[in-house]
Every structure is written in C-alpha cells, then in structure tokens.
Amino acid sequence: MTTELLNQFIEYLALERGLSRKTLLAYRSDLVLFQKYLQEACVDDVKAITRDHIRGFLESQQEAGKRPKSLARLLVSIKALFKYLAVAHIREDDITEVMASPRLPQVVPECLTLEQVTALLHAFDNPPEDKFRAKYLRNRTALAILYATGIRASELCDLRLTSIDYHEGTMKVRGKGDKERVVPYDNNANQAIQEYLQKGRPELDVSGKAPYLLLNLKGNRMDKRSLWEIVEEGGRLVGIENLHPHLLRHSFATHLLANGADLRVIQELLGHASIDTTQVYLSADTSRIQQAFLKFHPRA
C-alpha cells in the first residue's frame, strides 16, 4: 500500500465524509501501522492483501500490547479503507465485510448527581474581586450551557452569537461531520447568557467584533483546553474531583432519560449519528435503578 493511496483515502474522508482533523489523523495513524506491517510482509499491491494479512496485523498489535478497544479501532480504519477501495474501483471486492470487530465491554458513563449539578452551576456566582467579574460570568455561562444542552466542548467553543435565538431559546450547533442541529436551552442558561452578554462579555471583546460567544481574556475564541480548565476549576470550587466537559454531557443525557425523555429525542439533542451510541445511557439508568433497589429494598 503506497503513501499516495493512503493520502487519497484521507482526502476522500475529508471531502466526502467531512471528518474532523483529529479523526483524520487517527485514521492515518492506524493505517500507517498497517502499511508498515504490509511492507514487512512484502505486500506492496493492495489487490494482494488478504484477510490473513489483516488478521496477522491485528494479532501483531495485540501482542504489542494493544487493548481490545484499540484493536477495534484499527479494524474500523481498515474496513473504511477497503470500502473506499471498492467504491473507487481499485479493488473489486471488500474482504472486510464479513470481519467482525472484537466485542468490547460496555462502559457505563459516569454521571453527576442533581445536587452536584446545582452546586456546580453556582460555583462562579461570587467573584473574589470585581476585576474577576467578566471571567466569572463567562465561566458560569459555559457551565450552564454545557449542562442545559449537552453539547460537546468543541461545539460550545465554536458557538457564535448569531447562532443563538434568544426569543426561541435555541442554539444552532455544528457537530461531528460538520452536521448542524438545533438544541434548546433552559431558563437558567438564558439568565447566565444574558448577564454575561450585558456585564461580562463587553469587557472581554477587546475588538468589539468577536463573533464567538465565549472569549478568552485576550478577546479571542476560547479553545477546548481553556474550557476544560474552567470546568475543572468549577469542580474544585464545589468539591467535585476529576470533572471534565464530557461528564456534564453524560449527566445531561442521563438526567433526561431518568425523567422520562425518549431515547430518540436524546439522540437528536446529542447529535449522535446512531441510536446505538445513545443506548449506553440506558445502561447508566439501569445501573442507578439497581443501586437504589439494593439500598432501599427491605429484602435485597
């Protein structure tokens, strides 16, 4: 498999499927490993690759210490490559169609309690000094939106002022694969946003022309690392350890499900392409029910 072919495949993923740069780098990294294995096996022509080559590669990676989740991702990358080879008529067959991915244990997402969420949403209510007011209002807004909408950290960082409909209480967010969706937000988030826009953001918007909702102290778009630090800081202020933006997303989904929301609605709100991804929250809900049963049932 040549580097030129690999580059063509990555370009195809970028143009046809609109994958993010991070995802494209992951595909390239996986397939470079496969490319090196094929070179060592003296297989230069993609038409000469067999299932045995793929199995041998995966076995070599397993021996090198790769975990089942990593092996599954490697196979996903190889399957995507062979699907492309068939579509581009480079190969007549897709030998990976019948190859099943390794079964992975289902990981139940962690979730904050409602008490923890309430405390967190008030973590930045009282700045120690007036000079920190703009920063605290911004931070409170970030936390309120993350929990109210369940959007990803990257989606919040990319959120523009023009993407918010203040009258309807909705936001247009652009998610994975450059797909746009509309998500509602609650009154708590609305109050945080309005106070930030009136009393905080004008101090941060040095140029007066910044298009993004959340700005750093230099008046530029906030990056994911900074947003992560805000969430961590909020957690420390209220005694929640190891807090990260995705935990708020998990909590949003789990709390909706616990209060009777339809799984399909949660799928749309989260921007999941497949309902299978959303179904992991069913496990989280079941796990919580089991814990309550064991704790409170007199005969448990």
Q: Choosing from 136, 147, 196, 281, which is the catalytic residue?
A: 281
**What are the angstrom distances between the C-alpha of 158 and each of 175, 198, 259?**
10, 20, 30
Structure tokens at 218: 């230099």
Q: Is 138 known to be catalytic?
A: no
Mark 89-124 as b/e (b = at least 16 C-beta within 10 Å). eebeebbbeeeeeeeeeeebbebbeeebbebbbebb
249 is catalytic: yes
Residue in this structure with the two tokens 């203040």, named with its chain if needed: 166
Active site residue 246: yes
Helices (H), 110-244: 114-121, 133-149, 153-157, 187-195, 201-204, 224-238
Q: Compute CA 110 distance to the chain's CA centroid, rounded to the nearest angstrom.
A: 15
List % helix, strand, coil for the chain (3-state, nearest 5).
60, 5, 35
**Residue 60 CB coordination number (10 Å):** 14
Find the catalytic residue in 83, 135, 221, 246: 246
The single residue of 66, 73, 91, 176 carrying the catalytic annotation is 176
Name the active-site residue from 66, 181, 272, 288.
Answer: 272
**Active site annotation includes 69:** no
Whole-angstrom Cα distance, residue 102 to residue 62? 12
Q: Record the tokens describing residue 140, joined without a space.
A: 């409170």
Q: Which pair of tokens denotes residue 252?
A: 């949003």
Question: Of the residues 152, 201, 250, 255, which is catalytic?
Answer: 152
The answer to whether 149 touches 139, Cβ cutoff 8 Å, is no
d(CA 230, CA 224): 10
Among this protein's residues, is 47 annotated catalytic? Answer: no
Residue with tokens 């991804």: 277
Active site (annotated) includes residue 176: yes
Residues labelled catalytic: 152, 176, 246, 249, 272, 281
